[in-house]
Structure 1
Amino acid sequence: MLPPRFEMLVGLYGDEPTGRLLSAEATIDSWLRVEAALATAQGELGVLAREDSAAIVAAATLDNIDAELLWEQARNVGYPILSLVRQIDEALPAARRGHVHYGATTQDIMDSGLAVQLDAAARRLGELLGDFGDALAELAERHVDTVIAGRTHALHAVPTTFGAKIAGYLGELARHRDRLDAARSRVAVVSLFGAGGTSAAYGERAAALRARVAELLGLAGTDVPWHVARDNIAEFGLVCALLTASCARFAREVVDLSRTEIAEVAEVAGHHRGASSTMPQKINPIGSEAIIGLSATTGALSSALFRIMEAGHERAAGEWQAEWQVLPQLISLSAAALATAAATATGLQVFPEAMRANLDVDGGLIMAEAYMMRLAPHLGRERAHDVVYRAVQDCRRTGEPLHATLARALPEHLAAGVDTDLAPEDYVGHPHDTVTAALALWRARRAPTQPDPR
Structure 2
Amino acid sequence: MCSSSILPIDSGRYGSPEVKKIFTEESKLKYMLMVESAVAKAQASFKVIPLSAAKEISSKSTLEHVTYGMWKKIEQTTKHETASLVEALVSVVSDDAKPWVHYGLTSNDVLDTALSLQLKEYLAVIQVKIKNLILLLGKYAEKFSGFPSVGRTHGQHASIISFGQKFAVWANDFLDHLDRLQEIRPRVLACKTLGVVGSGSVMGQTALDVMEETASSLGLYPVRSATQIVSRENYAEFIWWCALVASTCDKISTELRNLSRTEISEVEEEFLKDQIGSSAVPSKRNPIKDEKVTSLARLVRSMPIVALENIPLWHERDLTNSANERFTISISAILLDEMVDTLCDVLSSLLIKEDFIKINIERTRGLIYSEFVLDALLRKGMSRSEAHKILREVSSKVYQKGTYFKEELLKSPEVARLITEKELNDMFAPEKYIGGSKEIIKRTLKRIKKEVGK
The TM-score with structure 1 as length reference comes to 0.93
Deviation at 1:32, TM superposition (A): 0.3
- Give 1:322's aligned residue: 324
- Give 1:279's aligned residue: 281
- Give 2:341's aligned residue: 339
- Correspondences of 1:49-448 after superposition (within 5 Å): 49-68=50-69, 70-71=71-72, 74=75, 77=78, 79-225=80-226, 227=229, 229-273=231-275, 275-377=277-379, 378-411=381-414, 412-416=416-420, 419-420=424-425, 422-445=428-451
User: C-alpha deviations, 1:418-448, integer Å up to 9, x for none?
Assistant: 643612222334121010122223333369x
C-alpha distance 66-212 of structure 1, shift in aligned 2 (>3 A): same
Deviation at 1:281, TM superposition (A): 1.2
* SS in structure 2 at match of 1:156: strand
Letter in 1 for 2:186: S
Contact 2:162–2:438, Cα closer than 8 Å, also in 1: no
- Give 1:452's aligned residue: none
* SS in structure 2 at match of 1:159: strand
Deviation at 1:259, TM superposition (A): 1.1
Q: Distance in 1 between matches of 2:85 and 2:375?
A: 73
Contact 1:147–1:352, Cα closer than 8 Å, also in 2: no
Q: Distance in 2 between matches of 1:232 and 1:192?
A: 16
C-alpha distance 4-63 of structure 1, shift in aligned 2 (>3 A): farther
The TM-score with structure 2 as length reference comes to 0.93
C-alpha distance 422-210 of structure 1, shift in aligned 2 (>3 A): same
CA-based RMSD: 2.2
**Greater RCO between the two (CA within 8 Å, min separation 6)?**
1
- Give 2:22's aligned residue: 21
Percentage of matched positions with identical amino acids: 25
Moved more, 216-225 or 70-79: 70-79
Contact 1:171–1:438, Cα closer than 8 Å, also in 2: yes
Letter in 2 for 1:58: S
Aligned length in residues? 446
Give yes or no for the alignment of 1:7 onto 2:13.
no
Q: Distance in 1 between matches of 2:3 and 2:208?
A: 41
Gaps of 5+ in 1: 448-454
Q: Distance in 2 between matches of 1:315 and 1:75?
A: 25
- Give 1:451's aligned residue: none
C-alpha distance 79-388 of structure 1, shift in aligned 2 (>3 A): farther
Contact 2:89–2:101, Cα closer than 8 Å, also in 1: yes
Q: Distance in 2 between matches of 1:35 and 1:4?
A: 35
Letter in 2 for 1:98: P
